[in-house]
Amino acid sequence: MNSHRRLATESDNWPLTWSDDDNQYAVWGDGGGFGSDGLEGRVEFGVARVSGDHDNYEGFNRFGGINAECPGGIRGKGHGAPISIGGVLYVWFTPSASTMGFDTFILFRSRDKGCTWTLLDTAFTREQDSVAFGSFVQFGKDNGLARDAYVYTVAVAVTDRLQLNIVQRPGKIMMLRVPRLAIEDRGAYEFYAGLDSTGQPKWSTNQADKVPIYEDALGVGPYPQMSFVPGLQRLVYTNQHGDGFVSSTGISGYRSLLTMAEGPQPWGPWTVFYKDVFVPQIDRSVFQWNFAPKWFRNGGRDFTLTFSGVRTNDSWNTIDGTFTVEQ
């Protein structure tokens, strides 16, 4: 608890990527970003640059927000982690901060570290592809620890889109991949389609062939995140879990129920190593957790999580932790 730090009142989400300039870049929504009281500089979609180490960092509003380096103004939201490839930033963007966010996620590109953004003709829809809220899998600085020539995205299968805060039940997480050099080509994307008889992954351009990489009958949150942990050489998945019903606090879904799972590949197989309330001393209203890819340390055993939610957790939050590694 001593490491918990809270900034950027009323600005939520905050998934991160690590770019080639050694800064991390985060997207937030519905707030004014770092230094704001929640009203000043308020935008639907903002981008921040985060500089420094896990215990000595600063946040700067790059696109939108109070005292921004570059003016914002894009309507919509980025729930999933962006990615940096060759210094170019990409993010999956939803054109609405409301439940319309379930309907599609669209690729945006920035060649100037988030100062300006270009909408690309690369999109996935709930109606045609049965997925929502894409998030790029993180592989270190500027995607430099990628194991192959592909970029991976996790997304949730939608079962209930009446509210953004409903845990999807039964819970299914899907995966897409695309060759790194073809990231802007919608036709080059493939869905994970299970394993063949030799245990190798199958991929298909037909969404009807897709199968989940992770399932939880009790439900998963709509904002899955995944990061590669250098040193440990494992992928770690984070997301909500729960039954999706309204809790005694009146907050549907947002009850700080965290799942962490680890696996050898982006498609698993997954071993759940934590499934419980996240830090009971913190207000139980968290809905999104993301590993800061720059801040893995001590051979991957130590990490920093960013998280956000509602009420007091509608903000930028960081907290440090340690993986216990079995010998």
How many residues appear in the chain? 327
Residue 281 CA to its chain's centroid (Å): 24
- Complete DSSP assignment for 225-244: EEEEETTTTEEEEEEEBS--
Residue 223 in contact with residue 135, Cβ under 8 Å?
Answer: yes
Residue 63 to residue 71: CA distance in whole angstroms:
6
What does the pLDDT read at residue 1?
63
CA distance 275 to 26: 26
What region does 150 belong to: left with phi over 0, alpha with psi -120 to 50, or beta? beta
Helix H or strand E segment including 126: helix 126-129
First to last CA, the chain: 27
Quote the pLDDT of residue 252.
63
Cβ-contact 289, 307 below 8 angstroms = yes
Query: What pLDDT does 106 receive?
Result: 98
Check if the beta carbon of residue 192 is closer than 8 Å to that of residue 175. yes
Domains of the chain are: 5-322 (2.115.10.20)
Helices marked H in 186-289 — which ranges?
none
Which pLDDT score is estimated for 254?
A: 83
The 10s digit of each residue's pLDDT in 264-290 is: 999 999 999 999 999 999 999 999 999
- Cβ atoms of 84 and 143 closer than 8 Å: yes
Residues of the chain with pLDDT under 50: none
**Residue type at position 257:** L
- The per-residue pLDDT for 215 is 97
Residue 235 main-chain phi, psi, to 5 deg = -95, 140
Long-range Cβ contacts of 98-102 (<8 Å, 24+ apart) = 98/164, 99/161, 99/162, 99/163, 99/164, 101/76, 101/77, 101/132, 101/133, 101/164, 102/126, 102/132, 102/133, 102/158, 102/161, 102/164, 102/222
Cα 13 vs. chain centroid, distance in angstroms?
Answer: 8
> Contact 108/91 with Cβ under 8 angstroms?
yes
Both tokens of residue 220?
A: 């998963």
pLDDT digits (tens, 9 = 90+) for 72-94: 999 999 999 999 999 999 999 99
| Nearest of 320, 323, 324 to residue 56 by alpha carbon | 320
pLDDT (0 to 100) of residue 325: 86
**Per-residue DSSP letter, 299:** T
How high is the pLDDT of residue 165?
A: 81
